[in-house]
Structure 1
C-alpha cells in the first residue's frame, strides 16, 4: 500500500532527467519559508513540514501546484540560462537544425525570410570594391572563382519564390493563398505510397537528403510521436511524427526529378525546403484531411505557442512554427 502511494505521487515528467532545476530551487525556498513560519510556534512542526515538502519535491519535482507551467511561461530566459537550461524548446523542423525559413500568415501566403535589397550606397560600394579587386586579380584567379561559384550550392533565400519558380506551388483557384500544383502533388504522393509499402529506416532520410554519412552509424528513434535521426555525435533530424518524416523523404525523392538544381543543394537546404513544403499539404500522408491551428511546445523549463498543421484522423503533427515568428 505504501509503495502504491509513492508510485501515485511520482511525476516522471518533472523528475530525473526531466527535472527543472529552477522549479526545484524555487519550491525548496518556498518550503524553507513555510517551515520557518511554522517553526515559530512549533520547532518540530517546522522540521516535519520542511521534511515532507522535500519528499514531495523529490517525488513530484515541485511542491506548489502549477509550478512547472508558471515557470515555463514566466521565468525570464536569463534565469533559465543561469541553470544551464536552453529557454528555446526543440521544434521538430525536419532534417538539419535550420528553421523553416518561410514566414507565413495564417493563410500561408507571406514571403519567407529574404535578405533586404541593397541600398544604392551599398551597391556603389560593392561595385567599387569589385573594380578594385579586379585590378589585382589574375586570369587564373578569375577562372578558379568562376568554377567555385558554379559548384556552390544555389542559395535559397525566398522559399515562396523558389516554389513558384519551379511550379511546385501556384495561386489557389478558390482562395487567396498558395496551393500545391496538381502535377507535383501527384508526384509527391506517388513517392509517399512507394515509401509506405517499403517502410522507413535510418537509411531513408540519409539517402533522400544526400547526407554523406554511414547509415549504420544512425538510429531512427521514436520519442512519443516524434522521430529523431540520431548518432553518437547528436541529432541530425527531428520530425514531429512519422507522417512528417514520410512526407519529407517522399518530397525529396520527388524533387530530385522535379527540380534540376535539387542535387546541388546541401542537405540542410533540402531539409529546410521539405519542412516548409509540408505546410501546404491538404491531405495527410497517412490518410485523411489536415487542419491548421495553435498549440504549445514544451521543454523541461519553457513553453511556446506554435502554429501547427495536424492530421485530423490520426492527430499526427505535420508542421510546427513558433507563433511569434509568424507574420500576421
Structure 2
C-alpha cells in the first residue's frame, strides 16, 4: 500500500534530473513558514507538517499546486540564472552557426570550426548581398523580396538531384568549400541535428536533413552565379544560406508545402516562443529562431 501511494504521488517530469531547483527552494521556504506557524501551537504538529511537506516536495517536485506553471510564467530570468536554469535554445541553423551536440562521443572539439578560406571577413548583410548578386529581387505582386526565376529554377533542380543521391560529408564539404588539410568529412545525426564534421572539428549543424540539402544545393548554384561567393568567409556563407531557406516554396527535394509556425519550447522552469519554418508533410525544420 505504501509503495502504491509513493508511485501515485511521484511525478518524474518534475523530479530527478527534471527537478526545478527554484521551485524546490520556493516550496521549502513555504513549507518552513507554514510549519513554523503550526509549531507555535504544537511543536509536534509543526515538525510533522514540515516532514510531510518535504516528502511531498521530494516525490512531486513541489508542494503548492501549479508551481511549475507559475514559475515558468512569473519567475524572472535573473533568478533562473542564479540556479543555472535559464532556458537556452540551441539554434541549429547551418554552417558555423551552432554549438556542438552534447552527446558527441567522438574525439571532435566541442567548438564549431571556423574554416574561412575566403578573404572577406567583415559583417555581411545577406539581403544586400543577394540583391547585389541578383539572387533576390523586389516582388511584382507584393511589397517584399522574391527569388529571381533563374536562381529558383536552378536551386530546385539541384535539390531534386541531391535528394536522389547519397549525400556524404565529402560532397557536402566540397560544395561548401571547406578545407582541412588531411581531414576527412562526415555527416552525422545527433537527435534532430544533422552535423557536418571533419576529423577534429564540427563545421556546422542543421535542424534537419532537408535544411542541409537546401544549403548544399544553394552553395552549388551560388558558386556558379556569384562572383563574390568564393571571397566570403564560411561564417558569412552560413548567414546567406540560412536566409535563403526562408524563400523556399516547397520542401527541398519534393513538392510538399512549407509553412511558418510558432511553437513553445519548455524546460523545467521556463518557456518561450520559437518561430519555425518547416515542411508540412515531414515536419522537418528548415529554419528556427527564438522570438524575442
Report the TM-score, using the length of structure 1 for normalisation. 0.66
Aligned to 1:289: 257
Deviation at 1:276, TM superposition (A): 0.9
Deviation at 1:182, TM superposition (A): 1.8
Assess, with a 3 A threshold, how the Cα gap between structure 1 residues 162 and 302 changes in structure 2: closer, same or farther: farther
Contact persistence 2:15–2:60 (CA under 8 A): no
Aligned to 1:51: 55
Aligned to 2:190: 222
Contact persistence 1:279–1:319 (CA under 8 A): yes
CA distance in structure 2 between the aligned counterparts of 1:215 and 1:232, rounded to whole angstroms: 6
CA distance in structure 2 between the aligned counterparts of 1:200 and 1:296, rounded to whole angstroms: 32
Aligned to 1:184: 151
Assess, with a 3 A threshold, how the Cα gap between structure 1 residues 248 and 219 changes in structure 2: closer, same or farther: closer
Match of 1:199 among 166, 172, 175: 166
Assess, with a 3 A threshold, how the Cα gap between structure 1 residues 313 and 206 changes in structure 2: closer, same or farther: same
- Listed one character per residue, the Cα deviations across residues 215-259 of structure 1 (whole Å, up to 9, x for unaligned) are 45x662232x34345689886433222222221222222212121
Assess, with a 3 A threshold, how the Cα gap between structure 1 residues 30 and 175 changes in structure 2: closer, same or farther: same
Deviation at 1:201, TM superposition (A): 4.5
Listed as ranges, the matches of 1:103-142 within 5 Å are none
Contact persistence 1:252–1:274 (CA under 8 A): yes
CA distance in structure 2 between the aligned counterparts of 1:3 and 1:205, rounded to whole angstroms: 55
CA distance in structure 2 between the aligned counterparts of 1:3 and 1:242, rounded to whole angstroms: 45
- Listed one character per residue, the Cα deviations across residues 12-44 of structure 1 (whole Å, up to 9, x for unaligned) are 58742x554334433443454455556665233
Aligned to 2:219: 252
Assess, with a 3 A threshold, how the Cα gap between structure 1 residues 249 and 27 changes in structure 2: closer, same or farther: farther
Contact persistence 2:258–2:277 (CA under 8 A): yes
Q: Secondary structure at the match of 1:175?
A: coil
Could you tell me which runs of 5 or more consecutive residues in structure 2 were left unpaired when the two chains were aligned. Answer: 99-117
Deviation at 1:69, TM superposition (A): 4.6
Assess, with a 3 A threshold, how the Cα gap between structure 1 residues 279 and 80 changes in structure 2: closer, same or farther: same
Deviation at 1:184, TM superposition (A): 1.0
Aligned to 2:106: none
Deviation at 1:51, TM superposition (A): 1.6
Deviation at 1:90, TM superposition (A): 2.0
Deviation at 1:48, TM superposition (A): 2.4
Aligned to 2:91: 91
Asked if 1:161 is matched to 2:128, the reply is yes
Contact persistence 1:221–1:230 (CA under 8 A): no
Aligned length, in residue pairs: 265
Contact persistence 2:251–2:257 (CA under 8 A): yes
Say which structure is richer in helix: 1
CA distance in structure 2 between the aligned counterparts of 1:257 and 1:83, rounded to whole angstroms: 51
Aligned to 2:271: 303
Assess, with a 3 A threshold, how the Cα gap between structure 1 residues 176 and 254 changes in structure 2: closer, same or farther: same
CA distance in structure 2 between the aligned counterparts of 1:71 and 1:209, rounded to whole angstroms: 44
CA RMSD of aligned residues (A): 3.6
Assess, with a 3 A threshold, how the Cα gap between structure 1 residues 266 and 56 changes in structure 2: closer, same or farther: same
Deviation at 1:279, TM superposition (A): 0.7
Contact persistence 2:31–2:50 (CA under 8 A): no
Asked if 1:237 is matched to 2:191, the reply is no
CA distance in structure 2 between the aligned counterparts of 1:288 and 1:250, rounded to whole angstroms: 17
Aligned to 1:128: none
Assess, with a 3 A threshold, how the Cα gap between structure 1 residues 3 and 295 changes in structure 2: closer, same or farther: same
